[in-house]
Amino acid sequence: MSINVLPPELVSQIAAGEVVERPASVIKELVENSLDAGAAAITVELEEGGLRLIRVRDDGRGLPGGELPLALRRHATSKISSLAQLERVATLGFRGEALPSIASVSDLTMTSRTADDTHGWAVSGRGDDAPLEARPAAHPRGTTVEVRELFARIPARRKFLRTPATEFRHAQLGFRRMALSRPDVAFQLLHNGRRVLNLPAASDDGTRRVEGVCGEDFLAHGARVEARAAGLALDGWVATPGFSRSQADMQYAFVNGRMVRDKLINHAVRQAYQDVLHNQRFPAFVLHLSLDTAQVDVNAHPAKAEVRFRQSGLVHDFICRSLHEVLAHGTDSPGHAVQLPVRPPPPAETNEYRPGTRLFDAVAQGSSAYSFQAPAEPAPGVRDGEQSCPRLPAHQARAEPTRQQA
Ligand code: ADP
Ligand code: MG
Mean pLDDT of 250-261: 94
**C-alpha 353 – ligand 1 centre gap (Å):** 33
* Closest-CA residue to 351 (of 383, 376, 319, 315): 315
Probe ligand 1: pick from 44, 57, 68, 77, max atoms within 8 Å of CB? 77
Higher pLDDT, 343 or 281: 281
Q: Which residue's CA is the nearest one to ligand 1's atom 1?
A: 96
Ligand positioned closest to the Cα atom of 34: 1
Quote the CA–CA distance of 119 and 112 in Å, as a whole number. Answer: 9
Residue 285 in contact with residue 237, Cβ under 8 Å? yes
Q: Which residue's CA is the nearest one to ligand 1's atom 21?
A: 33
User: Each residue of 116-158: pLDDT tens digit?
Assistant: 999 999 999 886 767 789 999 999 999 999 999 999 888 888 8
* Closest-CA residue to 399 (of 319, 287, 282, 321): 282
Predicted structure pTM score: 0.82
| CB distance 128 to ligand 1 below 6 Å | no
**C-alpha 332 – ligand 2 centre gap (Å):** 42
Percent pLDDT > 70 in the chain is 80
User: Each residue of 307-335: pLDDT tens digit?
Assistant: 999 999 999 999 999 999 999 876 544 44
